[in-house]
């Protein structure tokens, strides 16, 4: 399974944009890039996903490099409620039973 | 609006007890997953199932077993609980062969083995 690499932790000021990077240099052509986040004392929740093109939704934007070997989750205006662990994972759309593997993620701290 | 439900938020068991952690989803998903989460180690996959009565080992299956008798229910079993199985356990579900959709997680069960 292709792996992802994320910084262990990041800090950002409240009301400023946050760019969370993820490297996935061994990504295959059928891998979707997914982001999840885990708020304190909760299970992970879906944030956004993409395949090749940049994606926007009400929570965030996902910028995918042209060679797909890296991606960036963008929170346009961080609030204190965005403090969480953010996971970047790859999900293989090839035939077969999906393992759905997570790593250690990036712990995002928002400074008031 | 709850989609994945874990039977307990907190559980305290004694060493050597047989422990059942239950997970139920109401979205008719084929895939279900069990993870444990420990500080600094992220989410580690224990077992997953892609159909009734089907199961596959994840990355850390030792000391655990699972049961999937009905599509909506996936149980994690600790045959003889040990203190090193004290952890947060998370269940998830997703549709089969739909990696372009989201997976859903339960709220987690914090298990303490004393």
Q: What is the pLDDT of residues B34-69, one digit of tens each?
A: 999 999 888 999 999 999 999 999 999 999 999 999
> In this structure, are strands B109-113 and B104-105 parallel, antiparallel, or unpaired?
unpaired
Query: What is the count of residue pairs from A and B with beta carbons less than 8 Å apart?
Result: 69
Please name the residue of chain A whose CA is at the shortest distance from the CA of residue B49: A97
Report d(CA A17, CA A60) in Å as an integer. 10
Task: Give the pLDDT score at A33.
Answer: 94
Chain B nearest-CA distance from A17, in A, is 24
Length of chain A: 112
Q: Where are the beta strands (DSSP E) in chain B?
A: 4-6, 10-13, 19-25, 31-38, 42-49, 56-57, 65-70, 73-78, 87-94, 104-105, 109-113
**Residue A83 to residue A14: CA distance in whole angstroms:** 10
Contact A91, A102 (CB under 8 A): no
Percent of chain B having pLDDT more than 90?
A: 86
Across A18-27, A73-82, A89-98, B39-48, least confident range: A89-98
Smallest Cβ–Cβ distance between B45 and the set A32, A44, A100 belongs to: A100
Chain A interface includes B27 (CB < 8 A): no
Q: Which residue has the tokens 């295959």?
A: A28
Res A2: pLDDT: 64
Contact residues of A toward B, CB < 8 A: 32, 34, 36, 41-46, 49, 51, 87, 91-93, 95, 97-105
Residues of B in contact with A102 (CB under 8 A): 35, 42-45
Beta bridge partners of B22: B75
Task: Give the pLDDT confidence of A1-44 residue by residue, as tens digits.
Answer: 568 999 999 999 999 999 999 999 999 888 899 999 999 989 99
């Amino acid at each position: 399974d292709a792996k992802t690499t994320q910084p262990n932790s990041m800090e950002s000021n409240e009301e400023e944009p946050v760019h969370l990077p993820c490297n996935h240099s061994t990504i295959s052509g059928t891998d979707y890039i997914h982001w999840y986040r885990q708020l304190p004392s909760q299970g992970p929740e879906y944030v956004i996903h993409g395949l090749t093109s940049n994606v926007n939704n009400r929570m965030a934007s996902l910028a995918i490099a042209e060679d797909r070997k890296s991606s960036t989750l963008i929170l346009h205006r961080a609030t204190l409620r965005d403090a969480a662990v953010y996971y970047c994972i790859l999900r293989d759309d090839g035939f077969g039973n999906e393992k759905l593997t997570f790593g250690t993620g990036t712990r995002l701290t928002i400074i008031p | 609006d709850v989609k994945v439900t874990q039977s307990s938020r907190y559980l305290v068991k004694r060493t050597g007890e047989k422990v059942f952690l239950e997970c139920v989803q109401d979205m008719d998903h084929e895939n279900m997953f069990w993870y444990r989460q420990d500080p600094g180690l992220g989410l580690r996959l224990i077992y997953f199932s892609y159909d009734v009565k089907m199961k596959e080992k994840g990355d850390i299956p030792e000391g655990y077993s699972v049961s999937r008798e009905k599509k909506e229910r996936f149980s994690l079993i600790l045959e003889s609980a040990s203190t090193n199985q004290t952890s947060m356990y998370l269940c998830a579900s997703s549709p089969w062969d739909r990696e372009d959709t989201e997976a859903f997680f339960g709220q987690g069960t914090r298990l303490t083995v004393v």
